Structures are given as C-alpha cells and as structure tokens.
Chains A and B, each alone.
Chain A
C-alpha cells in the first residue's frame, strides 16, 4: 500500500513555530521513525515579516520622531535600515509591550509622545490588537497609531501549497491560530491540494496524537482536515474573536518573507479607522531592501531548506548575533535548530 523509508520519507510540515520548538524540546522530533521527516513552515510571525515593512517602521520612527511600541521578538531583526534596537541606540524610544492593550496604556501615560504600535502576528494576535484599537477609540487616545502588519494563515497555506517546489505529504496545523479561525476554514484549501492536515495542541501527548493521526491519513491517501485539539478548537473558531477582527480589520495584500506578495493574506485597519493608521498619518516612501547576504531565512520559512543548510547558520548567525529573523525570533526555526539540534541534520 505504501513504502516510505529514510531515503523517501513522509514529509510533514509543522506550520507553527511553537510546534517546531516543542517538537525539539520534548524530544518527540528525535523519537520519530527515520521514515518521517519534519519540515518547519511559515508560522513564525516575526520570521515572515518582510524586511521592507520593518524598514518602513524604522523610517517612520526616524522621520516623525515616534515612540515605537512592539513585541520583544521584533527588536533585534536587522534590515539595511537598521533594527528597532538600533533606533534605541540613536536615542529614540522603543518600548516592549506584553499585549497590544499595554500600548494604549503607555500612550495614555505619555501624552507628549507620538506612539506607534507595531501590530504583527497571525489570527491569534489580531483579536487582541482589535481590542486595543477599540480601547484607543473609547478612551479617545490621540497619540497612538497602529502599524498593522498582520498575516492570515489560510491564504498563505494556499500560496505555499501552490508553489511547484513544495514536497509535503501532510500538515500539522497550529492549535492557537485554529482556536480563532476554527477547523472548517482549512478544508477547501487543503482538499483542493489533496493535502491532509491535523490541528494539533502543544503538549507532547497532543503532538504525538496529531502526528499519528496525520501519518494515518498520509499512508491511506486521505486528504482530510482533522481536529486533534477539540478542547480548544471549535469547528468555526471563536465567534467573538472573529467578530472583533472583522469589525476593525479587513484583508489586504501582504508581502511575506520567502513567499513574496500574496493577495488578501494580510490585514489592515478598516477605512473608518484611518485616523489611527500609522501608514496614513506618517507616510514614507517605499524602502528598497535586500535580505542579508547569504541568509536563507526566506527558504527556511518555505521549508525548502533546513536551517543547517544555510551557510551562515551557527557560524556567522547565532542567537547571540543573529543575522536573519529565523534566528532572532524565539519561534524561529533556526533558533530551535541551534538550541536543540546543533549543527547537524535532524
């Protein structure tokens, strides 16, 4: 019926960066049979943020003397225009926030500063960002603007599976994103590509169950989307969270590192909230950027190479001196490989 071997393994992509890390940390990755190959996917929000978007943030902060509010992982990502950390060394204020609502609190407490919250993340983070927009409006905060750079997972999966180079037999789908968007939304995309997928939680037991279910689908050639995390993920997701997203955001085209431009794969503020949109309030010209020389982060997020295949991995590029975002971010595949896998293929 099927014949997989270490020379011709089942290729499973774990879409989510948290799965990448947990599969290493729990040792599950090392206990899989040799005929199962795990490939890291584009599910780390910092890693897929395109350099041109981060460069824009840096240009806006410099030109308009903005205080930048951001999640910690974004701080050290380097572009040709510098990093958010380098803005700090230039004397600009760059503050790390734990949640988008903290950005509202900061702006309220610092009325003399013009603040920009860098709102990145997948569907999991968007409801929280929507609550911050709602709060900023309700409290009439006049000095907070949102640089909205959210990414939507289903269109990205569709684009990923549509590229000719992908050699994947099944997808481990992310538990937290799916808590928001549900199971059903994946079905038309994965079925169109004949691709099985299993929504999976993050404990060792969850992941073992998810992988077993997925392998079962793969070996029986069944293109189904199963939910192995029903305690958290509902068929249609979280209706209140989806309502918040739809009230404040609308889909837009977005640039992804590795995947390029994908129509309707990002989110921006709805036009009625233009007055809070940092890109409207602080226009800058479109920056021309190039990825760091030799960095293969774009291929790593696509899963076409393993981190150890990058010439910079573990030598020039380490967590202490990261070149690409896949090493900078705690959810990045390169950071996981470096921390748990060392310099070899695993």
Chain B
C-alpha cells in the first residue's frame, strides 16, 4: 500500500484505489509516498515501488475484490 498521510503511528494508505487506516508501529521510518507491506492493518515492511507494482499487477490479474482482502 502507498502511504498518503501520516498522523503519529497511524497512516492512511491506498492500494488499487482502496484506502485504509493502517498502523506504522513496526516501520517507524516510513514516509508519505513510501510503499509498505501491510498485514492485519499493520505495516510490516517497507517495499520498493517496483515490488509494489508487481504486487498490484498480481492483484489485477487475480481480478478479485481488493476491498475484501486488504
């Protein structure tokens, strides 16, 4: 997910046009514009924009409703 806004340890992040509030407790150096891997509402790792694109493509190919999964 791409971080759009940061408010303390909370952030708004987006993936394929779906926005969610996530927590940044485990990636304290994350900045707006960074891509993060999110699990159960918590960012667990920073990822490169290339990796983020690969994951986006995988989901597009999957064709399932992203909102149900993120």
Contacts and interface: CB of A to CB of B under 8 A. Distances in A.
B32 interface: no
A176 interface: yes
Given A25-B62, A203-B54, A232 B47 contact: yes
A124 B23 contact: no
Interface of A, secondary structure class, is: helix
B6 interface: no
A238 B45 contact: yes
B16 interface: no
A166 to B, nearest CB: 28
Q: How big is chain B's contact interface, by range?
A: 20 to 34
A241 B41 contact: no
Contact of B44 (A98, A100, A180, A231): A180
A240 B25 contact: yes
A244 B28 CA distance: 13
Contact of B37 (A131, A203, A232): A232
Nearest to A231: B51
Contacts of A134: 25
Contact of B41 (A99, A176, A180, A231): A99
B39 A128 contact: yes
A128 B40 contact: yes
A161 B26 CA distance: 31
A127 B25 CA distance: 9
Contacts of B25: 127, 131, 134, 240, 244
Contacts of B28: 240
Contacts of B62: 25
Interface in A174-197: 176, 179-180
Nearest to B50: A231
A213 to B, nearest CB: 18
Interface string B50-62: 0100110010001
A20 interface: no
A241 B48 contact: no
Contacts of A125: 39-40
A202 interface: yes
Contacts of A232: 37, 45, 47, 51
Interface in A115-163: 121, 124-125, 127-129, 131, 134
A167 interface: no
B48 to A, nearest CB: 6
B63 to A, nearest CB: 11
A179 B44 contact: yes
A235 interface: no
Contacts of B42: 99, 101, 127-128, 131, 241
26 contacts: A98-B20, A98-B41, A99-B40, A99-B41, A99-B42, A100-B41, A101-B41, A121-B40, A124-B44, A127-B25, A127-B26, A128-B23, A128-B41, A176-B44, A179-B44, A203-B55, A231-B51, A232-B37, A232-B51, A238-B44, A240-B25, A240-B27, A240-B28, A241-B26, A241-B42, A241-B44
Question: Which 8 pairs from chain A and chain B are nearest by CB?
Answer: A99-B41, A128-B42, A128-B40, A241-B26, A240-B26, A232-B45, A179-B45, A99-B40
Interface of A: 25, 71, 98-102, 121, 124-125, 127-129, 131, 134, 176, 179-180, 202-205, 231-233, 238, 240-241, 244
